[in-house]
Chain A
Amino acid sequence: MTGFRLPRGGRIDRSRSLRFTFDGRSMEGHPGDTLASALLANGMSIVGRSFKYHRPRGILTAGSSEPNALVTLGEGARIEPNTRATMVELTDGLVARSQNCWPSAAFDIGAVNGLLAPFLSAGFYYKTFMWPAPLWEKLYEPLIRKAAGLGRASKEPDPDRYEKSWAHADLLVIGAGPAGLAAALTAGRAGARVILLDEDTEPGGSLLHKTGEVHGRATSEFLAGVVGELSSLPNVRLLTRTTAVGWYDDNVFGAVERAPADVSGGHAPRERLWRIVAREAILATGAEERPLVFGGNDRPGVMMAGAVSRFLACHAVTPGRNPLIFTTNEAGYRTASALEAAGIAVAGIVDPRPDGGAGWRGRAPVHANTVVADVLGGRGVRGAILESGGRRFKVAADALAMSGGFSPRIHLACQRGSRPVWSEAHGAFLAPERQKGFAISGSAAGIDGVEAALHDGSRKAALALAELGFATKAAFEPAPETMSKAFTLWRVAGAKGAAFVDFQNDVKADDLLLAEREGYGHVELAKRYTTVGMATDQGKTGNLNAIGILAEARGVTPAEIGTTTFRPFYVPVSFGALAGPARGRQFQPVRRSPLHGWAEKNGAVFVESGLWYRSSWFPRAGETNWRESVDREVLNVRTNAGLCDVSTLGKIEIFGKDATTFLDRIYCNAFAKLPVGRARYGIMLREDGFVYDDGTTSRLAEDHFFMTTTTALAAGVLSHLEFCAQTLWPDLDVRFASSTDQWAQMAIAGPKSRAILAEIVDTDLSDEAFPFMAAREITLFGGRIAARLFRISFSGERAYELAVPAGYGEAVADALMEAGAPHGLCAYGAEALGVLRIEKGHVTHNEINGTVTADDLGFGRMVSGTKPDFIGRAMLKREGLVAADRPQLVGIRPVDPKEGFKAGSHILRPQDATALENDQGYVTSVAYSPHLGHAIGLALVKGGRARHGERVVIWNALGESYVEGEICAPCFVDPANERLHA
C-alpha cells in the first residue's frame, strides 16, 4: 500500500487544484501542498535512488533535513538539481524529475550496484583505486564521477534574479515555533526591534501539527492569536521561508529567504540573502528527530514519526493505511494518536523501553521491550520482523513511522568555536545556553514540552533585552517541565538487512563498525573514511547515530567521541543567492579612463586590466589580426609620432615642507636635490630590500611633488606612503592626495611629437627651454586650459606626457589628433607601448616580480650609498641579495630570427639536461619587434650581465618547445639613447 490523501483536514485549499508532473507523469495537488506531500498523496512512494547502491528511496522527513527525496526541478535554464521535495511549495505546472536513476526511479538499471554492495564498503575508494596509479586519472576517476553524483545542473545562465539585503534588529529570533514565538512576542511588546525568521511557509513550528490545547485554547486558535498579535506590531518583522545559515563576527547572521512559489519569476527576486546585524539573538530552531537504525530502515514507506504527524496535520496525507510505529520516546505515541484520530488503523507501537507504552490509551497494541529488526519488502513496506528477548515475530504493516529521540538543532550556536556538550539526560549534544549576544531556547536548548518552551522563550527574550536596557514582561508564565531521562538506542543489533545511518551517502551501521575495526574510529576519521555526514544534508538526521554507534563499538560514551565541527552553511545555499545582483555587467565596477571616449572613436580594442578598460590596440581597415595593428603603431611611433592613453597610471600629489626629506626616505635613489621643474625616475624598495614599484616623480614647487605609480599599485603605493608618514615618521610635514581620476594623461611619443604639441601648447618647447626630464605646469590653447607637461619617455623616443583635467581629456586628445594628422600621428595602445618598452629594455611588473633587487634590474648604481636611511636600505647587503648568481636582467633573442618563444619559458645551458635544477632563469617579457623583424625578450638570468653573447636554450615546458637563443644586452633599439633628443 502507498500513501494517500484523507477526505478531510489539513491546511490545504481543496477548492483549487494544481497540476504538476513527476518523471513525466501528470498529477494533481492543492495550494498548501509541498511537492513531497503531493507525491505522497498521489501514491508515489519511490521518489529517487540512493547515491551509491541505487536503492529505491522515499520521503523520510517533512523539512529541510531531508536526505532522500532530492529531485530536479524545472526545465532548460531553470533546471535546479538536488532540491529537497519537502521544501518545494507546489505550483501549477511544476516539473519535477527523480535523480540518480535511469530510466526512472521505479525501474533503475543502476540498482545492479546493490548486488556489488559487499565490494563497496567503507573506504572502498581508498582500497580499490590505489594502483596502478596512472589508472586513477584516466580510468577510475572519470568512471566514478560518471556513476556517482546526484542531479545535473543546467549549463545555461540562471535567468532568475537574486537580491541581497541588510537588516538590523535589537533581537533576532531564529525559528517561529513555541519558544521563538514567545520570545518575539515578549520583545515585541517591549518595543524592541524584532526580526523573527522561520524556514517554513508559515510560523508555528511544532504547533502546526500539535493536537489538543495550548494555554487553554485549541492549538490552531492559540497560534492564530499569537501570529495575529505579532503581525500587528510595527516593530516586529516576520520573515517566513527564511533559513538562517550562518553566525558570524559581530553577531551578524546570514539567512536566505525564498520567494513564495506564486511570485517568483518575472522581476521579483527568487531568493534574497539577508545579512542581519543583531544586538541580541535567540536560537529557537527546535530539535531534529533521529531515525532508528534497523534492517531496511531506508525502504520507501519508512518515515520519521514527526514527518508523519506533519503530513497528516498540514496536508491530510498519510503514508499508509496501517502503519507501524517504532519509537524510543513519547513522540511515536503522539503520532499514533494523531493517526488514530484521523481514522487510520495503527498496526502497532514497538518500543524498546521495558516500560514503554505505560501511558498509552489508544487502540494500537504496544510491543514493549521490543525492537524492529528488519523491514519486510523492497520497494515498499509489507511488514516487519520484531524481536523481543531473542524471540522474533512478524507483523503486517504498509508503512513505518520511527522516532529515535531528538537532537537539538544547535548548529548555528557552534559555528564560532563553541563545542557541543554531551548530555546523558537528553541523550543528545547541547550547545552553551548563552554566548555573548546569542542564547538558545526551547527544544533547541533541550527543553521538552510546548508550555515549557513558551515560558523559556519569554524568559530568554527578557534576559537578552535586559542587556539592552529594555523593561520587559514575560509573555508566558512558568510551566512545569515534563522532561524525563532520554532512552537511546543507536542501532538494532542482529538486523539482517542493510541498516542505514546516513541515507544520502548510503553509509550503513556496518561501515562505521568496519571503520572502527580498521583504526578509523575517531569521529573525524570515520567521517572521511565512510563519508558519513558528508552529503548535502550534512548528516542532520544521521550524525548522532553515527557517533553513538562509534561510541558503543569503542565502549565509551558519545561525550568521548565528540562531534565533527559545525560550519556554515546550515543548509545548501545557491550560488545565485551568494552572487546576488553582482553578475554579468554588474559583477564588478568598471573604471574608464577619461580618454575612453577618444579611444572608442579611434576604434580601440579594450583589454581589462584590474577594473580598468585600457585601449589595447587600434585596428584599421584591412588589418586582419592584432599584430598587424601593433606593428604599424610601433613603427609609426618611431617614424612619426603616436598618442597613447596613460591615464591609468597612479597619480599622487605630495605636499609639505618635509616632502623632499620624505621622498628621499621612500625612494632608494636621491631626491633631495631634485630642482623645481624637473622629473626623476625613482625606485621604491620594500623594507626587505626587494623592489616594490617604480615611476617618475616631478617637483612642481618647493613643497609640491607629483608622483606617478604603476597602474596596478596605485592604491598600494598611496597606502604605503601614508603608512610611512604616519607610523614611522609622524613628525615630517607631508600630506598626500590621490589624483589618479582627476587627470587625463597622454603620452605623445615620436620624432614629430614636439611639432605636434607645439600646435596646442603655449610654452616654448625648444630643448633649451624644455629639456629632457623637464616637468612644468603650463597652459594650452592660449591660456584656456591649465595642464602639466613632462618630458619623459617610456618608448625611447623624444616624448612628452601631457596631463589635463579629466573633463578636458577627450577634447584635448581630439585636438592633438587633428593637429597631428599632417605629421602622421596615430593612436597607439597598451600592446604597442609594451613592444616599445621591451625594445628599450624598460621594466614593468613583469620584471619587478617581488624577488628582484634594484641591482638585478641594472639600477645598482642608482641606489644611494650616502643616504643615512631609506626604506629597504638595511636589508640590501644580505648575502643572498648580493650573490654572484642573482637573477639579472638581460635581453634574449632567437638565433634563428624566424623562431619565436613565449614569456615564462625557462633558460637552460645547451649541454644541460631539461630539468629544474639546471634552470638558469626565465623569460619575463616577449614581443615581436617590427623594428628588428624578429622576436625579442627580456629575461632574468643567473649572473646574466656577464653572459651577454652566450648561447642558450629557451625551454617552454608547457608547449614542449626548445628554441636556440642568445643572451644580449637588455636594449634592442638605440642603446646610446640618442633618439630621446631627436
Chain B
Amino acid sequence: MKGDASPVRPEPDAPVADWHSYVHLRANTKGRHREFWHHVSGCRRWLVAERDTVSHEVFSVVDAASLKRGGGT
C-alpha cells in the first residue's frame, strides 16, 4: 500500500507550493478513500483501490497505469 492515489505529480517546474502539497500533504480520510495497492506476490501491478477506511469494504479496483492513460481497467 502506498496511501492516497489522488495527488498528481506536478510538472517538473511547477511552483514549490504544488510540490510541497504533492510530497507532504495528505488527508487522513475516514470513509471512502482511493489508494495505491501493489500486487506484490502476484502480477506486480500497481492498482488504485477505492476502499472504506472504516469498514474496509472495497468498492473498485483498477490498474493504475490504465487509469493514468485515461482508460478503464
Contacts and interface: CB of A to CB of B under 8 A. Distances in A.
A and B assemble together: yes
Contacts of B56: 249-250
B35 to A, nearest CB: 12
Nearest to B39: A722
Contact of B9 (A688, A728, A868): A728
Interface string B4-27: 010001101010100100111000
Given A250-B56, A728-B9, A869-B12, A688 B23 contact: yes
B38 to A, nearest CB: 6
Interface in A705-750: 719, 722-723, 726-728, 730-731
B9 A723 contact: no
Interface stretch (A764-772, A794-802, A872-880, A891-899): A872-880
A878 B16 contact: yes
Contacts of A417: 54
B19 A874 contact: yes
Given A722-B38, A874-B19, A727 B64 contact: yes
Contacts of B36: 723, 727
In which size bucket is the chain A interface? 20 to 34
Nearest to A736: B44
Interface of A is mostly: loop
Nearest to B65: A730
A417 B31 CA distance: 13
Interface string A228-265: 00000000000000000000011000000000000000
B19 A875 contact: yes
A213 interface: no
A133 B3 CA distance: 43
B16 to A, nearest CB: 7
Interface in B40-67: 40, 44-46, 54-56, 63-66
B22 to A, nearest CB: 8
A687 interface: yes
Contacts of B9: 687, 728
Interface residues of B, number: 26
Interface string A871-889: 0011100100000000000
Contacts of B40: 719
B16 A731 contact: no
A728 B9 CA distance: 7
A726 B24 contact: no
Contacts of B66: 730
Given A874-B14, A878-B16, A727 B65 contact: yes
A250, A726, A869 interface centre (most CB from chain B within 10 Å): A726
A730 B9 CA distance: 13
A869 B12 CA distance: 6
Nearest to B54: A417
A723 B65 CA distance: 9
A250 B55 CA distance: 9
A672 to B, nearest CB: 16
A722 B69 contact: no
A687 B22 CA distance: 9
**Most B CB within 10 A of own CB, among A417, A719, A874:** A874
A873 B14 CA distance: 12
Nearest to A727: B64
Interface string A257-296: 0000000000000000000000000000000000000000
Nearest to A723: B46
A869 B19 CA distance: 13
A726 B69 contact: no
A868 B24 CA distance: 22
Contacts of A728: 9, 68
Contacts of B14: 874
Contact of B46 (A249, A722, A873, A874): A722
Nearest to B14: A874
Contacts of B63: 726
Contact of B64 (A436, A726, A731, A869): A726
Contacts of A436: 55
Nearest to A872: B23
B14 to A, nearest CB: 7
A726 B23 contact: no
Contact of A727 (B10, B19, B54, B68): B68
Nearest to A729: B68
B18 to A, nearest CB: 9
B44 A730 contact: no
Contacts of A687: 9, 22-23
Contacts of A878: 16
Contacts of B12: 868-869, 873-874
Interface of B: 2, 5, 9-10, 12, 14, 16, 19, 22-24, 36, 38, 40, 44-46, 54-56, 63-66, 68-69
17 contacts: A688-B23, A719-B38, A722-B38, A723-B2, A723-B36, A723-B46, A726-B46, A726-B63, A727-B5, A727-B36, A727-B65, A730-B65, A730-B68, A868-B12, A869-B12, A874-B10, A874-B14
Given A687-B23, A726-B65, 10 more contacts: A436-B55, A722-B45, A723-B2, A723-B38, A723-B46, A726-B64, A727-B64, A730-B64, A730-B65, A730-B66
